[in-house]
Amino acid sequence: MKIYDCFPGGKTKALTMSYDDGRPQDERLVSVFNQYGIRGTFNLNYGFLGDGAHIAKERVAELYRGHEVATHTLSHPTIARCPLPQAAEELLEDRKGLESLVGYPVRGHAYPNGSYSADIQTLFQKLGAAYARVVSATADYALPENPLEWHPTCHHNDPALMEKAEFFVNFSKKQYLKLMYVWGHSYEFDDRDNWNVIEDFCAYMGSRSDIWYATNIEIIDYMERCRGLRFTADGTCVYNPFAESVWLQVNDGEPVEIKGGMLTKLIG
């Protein structure tokens, strides 16, 4: 008997995006994402919002609606060089400020300057970070082994971006869960005069029925629910203690929706 986790709707592929710093170019980038049904996470420094070079505070909730706002520290230090009490303050003050704008718990993070350490991972987890993205890419389309050291698939400036996208789109082995994770900064498209890179990528990747378009935290929370299912010893029944559904594939059958708060018979 084979029981496999699936993404929502029984899908086996997911796409997520992650963009840092909250610059005004996020306005155009969010518009592109929304046009193609692509969703992402935007990592903001509360201490810089509204300074003229970053998004205004009063714009945050509306602009990023339908996406995720996550922390990037209050003032973007090279955090591994900071004393741990300062690192804690950088995260907590950023969280509190952003939460005051969006009205929900902010639980994601991207390390500023790609700087982190084992101590900072432990500290940030204790301070409420469910995951933290690093900058070094690992092009294996895998879910994170350590959510506090989450490696993306690639930066959008990767010369092989569309090659990687084509591999992902054409991958059809449903015994695997595959995740494509792209990151960057929206101002880079102005700097390089190459908005066509992200527009072409989103046009190609968006609006596909076999891909789950998710924010970073949605992926983390969904996989946590998958791990939290309660199976009988023989695998014939499963109880979902959460409010939201989880999807499974049993043997080679069609995906099964395991509804929240329900005991579901998988066999017989």
Task: Name the token pair of 198.
Answer: 């992200």
pLDDT of residue 267: 82
Question: Which single residue is written with the structure tokens 């082995």?
Answer: 173
This model's pTM is above 0.85: yes
- Quote the CA–CA distance of 50 and 64 in Å, as a whole number: 15
pLDDT of residue 268: 64
DSSP state of 127: T
Domain ranges of the chain: 11-217, 228-265
Nearest C-alpha neighbor of 20 from the set 85, 121, 110, 152: 110
pLDDT of residue 204: 98
Could you read off the pLDDT tens digit of each residue along the chain, which spans 268 residues?
A: 899 999 999 999 999 999 999 999 999 999 999 999 999 999 999 999 999 999 999 999 999 999 999 999 999 999 999 999 999 999 999 999 999 999 999 999 999 999 999 999 999 999 999 999 999 999 789 999 999 999 999 999 999 999 999 999 999 998 999 999 999 999 999 999 999 999 999 999 999 999 999 999 999 999 999 999 999 999 999 999 999 999 999 998 899 999 999 999 998 6
User: Tens digit of pLDDT for each residue in 51-80?
Assistant: 999 999 999 999 999 999 999 999 999 999
- Quote the CA–CA distance of 88 and 5 in Å, as a whole number: 35
- Quote the CA–CA distance of 42 and 64 in Å, as a whole number: 8
pLDDT of residue 184: 98
pLDDT of residue 244: 97
Residue 185, exposed/middle/buried by CB under 10 A (0-12, 13-18, 19+)?
buried
Domain 11-217, CATH number (from 3.20.20.370, 3.90.76.10, 3.40.50.1820, 3.30.70.100) = 3.20.20.370
